[in-house]
Structure 1
Amino acid sequence: MEAMNDLQRQQLILSHLPLVHRTVSKMHYKGTAFEREDLIQVGVIGLMDAIDRFQPQLGVPFDYYAGIRIRGTITDTLRKAGHLSKEKLAALSLFYREKAALEQQLMRSVTDDELFDHLEMTQKEQRGIFQTMAALPSASLEEILFDDASSSSLQERLVSEDTDGPEEAVMKEALSGALKSALTALEERDQLLLQLYYVEGLAFKEIAAVLEVSVPRVSQLHTRALMALRAALDGWR
């Protein structure tokens, strides 16, 4: 962003504090060592980082870019505290693969309890699965899909102009194509859910009203869609 004095920078931070508050309000952090005010402070750090990194020439609105950086910074903080790890994501991915296999075998839907019994999972393992499911809404797509611990987001990876040459450009094009293919393979309702949550910024309660289902059902669909995308993009991790 263009050079600004301390007063201008402070005014920009203050004017975007509501964005920080809205972002925190959509994230799940119960069961962690963090309180709401802690994450607001972390979000402000993300906002300041957005001010330093913003490039107007890319044509991305600052509010949109700042939202990405705020969410990414908070997610990284939660992850470093053990809220969500690659191991937990891998376990959840395996859980959904096993569920799909069992449903294909039985030719019907199965409940989580049925799958727990089938896999002979301990209560501790079951709690781990549910905790990971609860943590997904607070994580960035980058973290979920690519196991990327950095604060850079998927959106940034696709729109960044900081390329090293033709090979990097080809990789970005291939990644974009793989992501589009993976999204297209999802059911239309799952595609709409991801659009409403990650692009439109709707909360689960609002999405439930749009899809005419319960909030817990939105959470289930959200998790299923993310695990399907993660499986489709397995080669990119």
Structure 2
Amino acid sequence: MNEMIEKHLPLVHQVVNRVAKGLPAHVSREDLISMGTVGLIGAIERFEADKGVKFETFATWRIRGAVLDGLREMDWVPRQVRQWKKEIERAFETVEYQKVESATDEEIAGYLGISMDEYHKRISQISAGAVFSLEEAVHVSGEEHGFYDFLPDPAAEDPGQILTREELRRVLEQTIARLPEKEKLVVALYYYEEMSVKEIADILGVTSARVSQLHAKAICRMRGALSRRKHEFK
């Protein structure tokens, strides 16, 4: 166990470095590393090689999840901002269900009954304290699933479990495909190319704050889509 922990500590630092880039200065990096190490230990204990997933891939999700869980427990994001996030997710869920396409900022602001200035203010506040992402758990039929649970599992024998996992992946793929182009690009660069917010900002020729806002809106759209379709997984 100790040998495995020591071998993969650089992975903990790598994950922490990425998460820490969007956090306030007062959040202790040492605390983040401790949270990540707990996630690494959990990954070592729970890893099953026959699932067909590399240990580093599995460990990365678990480390990041442990860090995000720890940050949420610290509860440093104001309650009002958390409420705004939930309201905007619900707005995307409702408006995009009715439109069957991506909602504009104006439509979301109109649904919420607020001005565009107020809408942009809320998105900025959410993105500034955004300890949420695709790694957050998804609640389906009263159960909590991590995104690792939706990775291919050749050994799985439960057809219902396979169907749920594949359907969730399909919903995510559909939602990502219809994201506005800039949001889609931010998601691709951040999650698939693993670029930092600053690197993405340089590519798009915008500020890091703008990239964070695009990321926040993309995640609200995707989580709203999952919430909208959750009845299909019951």
Superposition TM-score, scaled by structure 1 size: 0.73
Q: Is 2:128 the counterpart of 1:134? A: yes
Structure 2: unaligned runs, 5 residues or longer: 96-103
After TM superposition, the structure 1 = structure 2 runs for residues 66-85 of structure 1, keeping only pairs within 5 Å, are 66-83=59-76
Aligned length: 212
C-alpha contact 1:24 1:43 (8 A) present in aligned 2: yes
SS in structure 1 at match of 2:129: helix
Among all aligned residue pairs of Structure 1 and Structure 2, give the percentage whose two residues are the same amino acid.
Answer: 32
Shift of 1:181: 0.8
Letter of the structure 1 residue corresponding to residue 209 of structure 2: P
**Given the superposition, is the C-alpha separation of residues 114 and 44 from structure 1 closer, same or farther in structure 2, using an over 3 Å criterion?**
closer
| Matching residue of 2:86 | 90
Contact preservation (8 Å) 2:109, 2:119:
no
CA–CA distance in 2 between the matches of 1:150 and 1:104?
A: 33
2:203 alignment counterpart: 210
- Counterpart in the other structure of 1:121: none
* 2:213 alignment partner in structure 1: 220
1:179 equivalent in structure 2: 172
- Larger displacement relative to structure 2 (46-55 or 83-92): 83-92
Question: 1:134 and 1:102, CA in 2 relative to 1: closer, same or farther beyond 3 A?
Answer: closer
CA contact (8 A) 1:141 1:154 kept: yes
Q: Is 1:24 aligned to 2:16, yes or no?
A: yes
Q: Could you tell me how far 1:202 is from its partner in structure 2?
A: 1.3
Superposition RMSD on alpha carbons, in Å? 3.5
Q: Which has the larger radius of gyration?
A: 1
Measure the CA separation in 1 of the matches of 2:213 and 2:40.
31
Unaligned 5+ runs, structure 1 = 1-8, 117-125
* 2:148 equivalent among 155, 162, 176: 155
1:15 Cα deviation after fit: 2.2
Corresponding position of 2:101? none
CA distance in 2 between counterparts of 1:227 and 1:49 reads: 29
My pick for the range that moved more, 157-166 or 221-230, is 157-166
Residue identity matched to 1:10: N
Shift in Å, 1:134:
2.0
Q: What letter matches 2:85 in structure 1?
A: L
Q: Distance in 2 between matches of 1:161 and 1:131?
A: 42
TM-score, L = length of structure 2: 0.73
Contact 1:75/1:140, CA 8 A, preserved across alignment: no
Structure showing greater relative contact order (alpha-carbon pairs closer than 8 Å, 6 or more residues apart)? 2
